[in-house]
Amino acid sequence: MQQRQEAEMILSAGIDIGTSTTKLILSRFSLMNTAGASHVPRIEIIGKQVFYKSPVYRTPLRAPMLIDMEAVQSIVRKEYAKAGIKPQDIRTGAVIITGEAATKLNAEQMIHILAAEAGEFLVATAGPDLEAIIAAKGSGAYQYSKQTGKTVANIDIGGGTANIAVYQSGYLKGTCTLHIGGKLIELEKARIKAISPPMQNLLAQLGHSLSTGDPVHLDDIHDVIKEIIRVMIRTLVRILGGEAGGPDQVLLLGHPPDWGIPIDEIMFSGGVSECMYGLETHSEQAQNAVYEDIGFMLAESLRQSAGLKRWKWITPVETVRATVLGAGMHTSEISGATIHAEGSRLPVKNLPVYHLELHDRLPSGKQIVHQAMEQALRTYDPQREGINFALYITGLTALRFREVQQLAGWLLESYRLQPNQLEPLVVVLANDMAKVLGQTLQAMNPGRDIVCIDQVLVEHGDYLDIGSKLQSEVVPVVVKTLAFHS
């Protein structure tokens, strides 16, 4: 009689430090071997459940360009205690700094301090593209496109940016980020408190000026703010319609829209969409997040926009919590079950990925591997300081054992170019052969720790975090973009 399999449970945390708000969620992941008894084990996440949501806090600042790190740490400690968990209980998840918060002077320091304290989990810090992707998964846009086959644009509008991700049938088609957000002009007692640099640029382009201290109820001041909002929405409509032009460049952050296909339907998430939908208006969580900015005016103008009515609107599953939900539930992957990983050297974090494309039978493999190693060193460790990286190998299918030994020999010879031989040798494979390659590498070089994992999809230039081995002999993995935009 076959023994019933028990699911392994692990805890995941998502922490989002945004321009306007900071929030946290805690989730349970259920892991189980989905392969048959006679097959190679395949451990998959079969269930995800959010069991705790923090209130939505105003992001604490010590100064306009400085996050109050102690206050953020205090929020996280307090919320962990309320949820009845300890940092060491967390096995995966993500901390992200999003929107204008990623431009703060201590943003990178904040992310690493918080990651070190908040548990043995994997930290993904979002540049605008990754932020858009995470928000689209948290809002429900990704799942909706997957279920319906539609081309859906999720527009996540927070305090400082609008992050757009376009999905078609569950496949990412492109991203774009705009300087559109509620906190780009801040208010205090019906007067202008602060104007962000992107808004100063837009005002100059429009031939207007605003100053701190200006009363917003004056007709001319109010009219300028309304015109700024109209321009924001006009740019958003043109971007979604694939018609962006020169005047829109002032609001563009990074690359132009790159999806290249017509959009069928749109979904809004983020703090501004909460102003539109009010999903949390009556909740305790909404009490701590009173906005003094143009967010409500922007939300109302979006709702009334004739240009945006050309697309069907889909109500989001989450508004202000879309990004944190995506961070806590959608950033983690699980490696293959037949891997080789020295537990004493895990977790490893922030490994840049170098992509090595090989071909079956390895016709000129030795030279290709050696050239890839030299290029990876030039790219990631130009000063030869001992910075480690992961080699991502694709293009292989089934190899004979002699070919595995041949490949292992070339890898070890090339890895000797690394100045720090005490760091683990990390190899990621697209297909299912990590255990045999890892064991061969270890046998041929027992003096160096080997981490060899598979069934994880990464790209050249990504960063990789690999967590400690779980009971099911897999490791949680986060593929991430480390980007603090300015």
Examine the domain organization and report whether 208 and 87 are in the same domain.
no
Please report, in angstroms and rounded to a whole number, the separation of the first and last CA atoms in the chain: 61
Last residue of a domain, one of 332, 352, 370: 332
What pLDDT score does 48 carry?
A: 83
Examine the domain organization and report whether 291 and 196 are in the same domain.
yes
486 is a domain residue: no
For 23-48, what is the mean pLDDT? 75
Q: What is the span of the domain harbouring residue 62?
A: 8-126+328-332
For 363-382, what is the mean pLDDT? 84
Which residues have CB under 8 Å from 67's CB, separation 6+? 17, 59, 60, 61, 97, 101, 104, 106, 107, 110
What pLDDT score does 412 carry?
A: 94
Examine the domain organization and report whether 73 and 18 are in the same domain.
yes
> Of 189, 161, 193, which is closest to residue 175 (Cα–Cα)?
161
209 is a domain residue: yes
More confident residue, 76 or 475: 76
- Give tens-digit pLDDT for 387-432: 899 999 988 877 888 889 999 999 999 999 999 989 999 999 888 8
Examine the domain organization and report whether 356 and 428 are in the same domain.
yes
485 is a domain residue: no
For 306-331, what is the mean pLDDT? 87
Examine the domain organization and report whether 157 and 115 are in the same domain.
no
Last residue of a domain, one of 264, 292, 320: 320
pLDDT at 344 over 70: no
Examine the domain organization and report whether 153 and 250 are in the same domain.
yes
Q: Label residue 304 by pLDDT band (50, 70, 90).
A: very high
> Of 386, 471, 481, 466, which is closest to residue 434 (Cα–Cα)?
466
Q: What percent of the chain has pLDDT over 70?
A: 88
pLDDT at 458 over 90: no
Which residues have CB under 8 Å from 443's CB, separation 6+? none
For 243-260, what is the mean pLDDT? 89
- Give tens-digit pLDDT for 92-125: 888 888 777 777 788 878 877 787 777 766 565 6
What pLDDT score does 289 carry?
A: 43
Q: Label residue 262 by pLDDT band (50, 70, 90).
A: very high
Domain total of the chain: 3
For 288-294, what is the mean pLDDT? 65
Provide the CATH number for the domain around residue 213. Answer: 3.30.420
For 154-161, what is the mean pLDDT? 93
What pLDDT score does 447 carry?
A: 87
Examine the domain organization and report whether 379 and 452 are in the same domain.
yes
What pLDDT score does 381 carry?
A: 84
Last residue of a domain, one of 282, 302, 332: 332
3 is a domain residue: no
Q: Label residue 483 by pLDDT band (50, 70, 90).
A: very low
Q: What percent of the chain has pLDDT over 90?
A: 38
160 is a domain residue: yes
pLDDT at 149 over 90: yes
For 222-248, what is the mean pLDDT? 93
1 is a domain residue: no
Of 107-111, 152-156, 296-300, 409-413, the least confident: 107-111
pTM over 0.85: no
Examine the domain organization and report whether 345 and 430 are in the same domain.
yes
Q: Label residue 38 by pLDDT band (50, 70, 90).
A: low
Cα separation values, 140 from 170, 305, 337, Å: 11, 23, 29
Q: Label residue 361 by pLDDT band (50, 70, 90).
A: low
Q: Label residue 267 by pLDDT band (50, 70, 90).
A: very high
Examine the domain organization and report whether 90 and 134 are in the same domain.
no
275 is a domain residue: yes
Examine the domain organization and report whether 221 and 283 are in the same domain.
yes
Average pLDDT, the chain: 84
Examine the domain organization and report whether 148 and 246 are in the same domain.
yes
What pLDDT score does 376 carry?
A: 86
pLDDT at 144 over 90: yes
80 is a domain residue: yes
For 238-258, what is the mean pLDDT? 90
Examine the domain organization and report whether 157 and 286 are in the same domain.
yes
pLDDT at 63 over 80: yes
